[in-house]
Structure 1
Amino acid sequence: MNGYAPPASQSRSPSLYRATHDPNGPATLSTTVVHALADCMGVDVTDSRLSLYDTVDPDALNELFRPRHDGTPRTGGTLAFVVDGHHVTVRGDGEILIEPPARR
């Protein structure tokens, strides 16, 4: 055989969870992130593991991607952080990507 086979001990990479924040909607970006994390983790949104405060200031996160003073959207840039082993990437276009921890 000429194909590559990963070692038996190597686990598959976890699936990537995707969510989108609507900057014109009623929820703040940090609220959308917390709800996306809860969905990804399969827990209630009030679960204590979902606190962003240990990793990122929710108010700063909300301000970072809010529209410019002239009203134009901030579509560039990304912010990445980890919450309870979940790698979270927030993009300026509103996309939220969450990679769960690898299974052992």
Structure 2
Amino acid sequence: MYDSTPPASRSRSPPVYRAVHDPEGPATLSTTIIHALADCTGVDVTDSRISLYDTVDPDALDGLFRPRYDGTPRAGGTLSFVIDGHYVTVSGDGEILIEPPARR
């Protein structure tokens, strides 16, 4: 698709925030996402404004990307959702991408 809007008048998108979840670490995937969102938005992680519950079930999210019963990691797969205007994409390899709302 071609965008004929002159570059100077296009909305400028902020950079994508990247984080990585370590499935061998002590934190769950949902906790890692909450921390990444807090970092991305500059909010204290203990601030109750950041919550996954209204958007996605944290237990289901953790289970979706948890290693298989035999301990082998899950390969592939992504899940995307929007939370407070931020577009979050989680990959099976542990990568978390957070795209803040576009500036106008």
TM-score scaled by structure 2? 0.90
Unpaired segments ≥5 residues, structure 1: none
Q: CA RMSD in A?
A: 1.5
The match for 2:64 is 64
Q: CA deviation at 1:47?
A: 2.3
Q: Which runs of 4+ in 1 moved over 6 A?
A: none
* Residue identity (%): 81
Counterpart residue type for residue 20 of structure 1: V
Unpaired segments ≥5 residues, structure 2: none
- Number of equivalent positions: 101
Cα distance between partner residues in 2 of 1:97 and 1:9:
26
SS at match of 1:49: coil
The match for 2:84 is 84
Cα distance between partner residues in 2 of 1:103 and 1:5:
16
Cα distance between partner residues in 2 of 1:6 and 1:24:
47
Cα distance between partner residues in 1 of 2:52 and 2:5:
39
The match for 1:75 is 75
The match for 2:36 is 36
The match for 1:100 is 100
The match for 1:13 is 13
SS at match of 1:22: coil
C-alpha contact 1:49 1:84 (8 A) present in aligned 2: no
**Greater shift in the superposed pair: 13-22 or 42-51:** 42-51
